Amino acid sequence: MPELPEVQTVVETLRPHIVGRRIRRAELMRGDILTPTGCDLCARLDRRTIRSIERRAKRIVFGLGDDNRFYIHLGMTGRLTIDPPDAPRRLHTHFVLFFEAFEVRFSDPRRFGGIWWLGTEADDDRLGPEPLTMRSSQLARALGKTARVIKTALLDQSVVAGLGNIYVDEALFEAGIHPLIPSNELGGEEIETLTRAIKRILRRAIRHRGSTLRDYMDANGDAGAFQKLHRVYDRAGQPCARCKRPLVRIVVAGRSTHFCPACQPAPAIIEQC
């Protein structure tokens, strides 16, 4: 569930509670969600103060001072919440940070998420530019290098960092670009349009505190509202908001892909089929 807008919202709702506060104790219930496995995370967090919390791509990066950092990735079903100590723990709670008056709990049924200890290492390996601040030329450079269709390329975190299935579909609709166009066939002007569309969609989604389809909630337990404003995602068969013709669902790279065949013109090679 968590793409850039959801992760950003979790960070913003967590920040006022934890920055400047000292961790009294940390508890890891499952060793297999930690990388590197066996590093003594809880001992390293014991009695330390949280100095910062930031988002990078879909990662929630905690700074401890001394340049020591770790990050949590929510995967598909991860939640990071502020809870009173006496509140019952959600099923599949794998990690808890205990503060004086509350706890930060990480739960994740599917366990696609996890915790990564960075220490003083960089966290940028193999991540593309941040979409909210990237230049169109950065996106153009990455897209020019691949023949993969644009939908697939935008899901690749080394091309641009933070988009997922929902926001790629929404951004391609906003830009009027068909999901099956080969990336390296897009012109400079189209990529500028796409860059602007990505930023517009992400800013709008952050303003509405992300999309809650099923699992997502912010650190306070509140759902997002942007799902009400999705124009194409999970709306196959419904009329396009622009042209009223029915939206379509196809499968690309094993992922559901939603678009308007009229507003997002097909590449010539597909048209013949």
Partner DNA sequence: GTCCATGTTCTTTA
Partner DNA sequence: CTAAAGAACATGGA
Number of residues near DNA (by CB under 7 A): 37
What minimum distance in Å lies between the beta carbon of 33 and DNA? 10
User: According to the binding rule CB under 7 A, does residue 141 interact with DNA?
Assistant: no
DSSP 199-222: HHHHHHHHHTT---SSS---TTS-
Kind plus residue range of the DSSP H or E element containing 97? strand 93-98
| Active-site residue, 88 included | no
User: According to the binding rule CB under 7 A, does residue 76 interact with DNA?
Assistant: yes
User: According to the binding rule CB under 7 A, does residue 170 interact with DNA?
Assistant: no
User: According to the binding rule CB under 7 A, does residue 147 interact with DNA?
Assistant: yes
b/e 87-114 (16+ beta carbons within 10 angstroms → b): eeeeebbbbbbbbeebbbbbbbbeeebb
| Active-site residue, 265 included | no
181 vs 148: CA distance, rounded Å: 8
Q: Please say which residue, 58 or 235, places its beta carbon nearer to DNA.
A: 58
| Active-site residue, 58 included | yes
Phi, psi of 59 (to 5 degrees): -100, 145
| Active-site residue, 24 included | no
Q: Which residues bind DNA (CB under 7 A)?
A: 1-3, 6, 57-58, 73, 75-77, 91-92, 109-112, 126, 146-149, 152, 155, 157, 164-166, 211-216, 253-256
Catalytic residues: 2-3, 58, 255
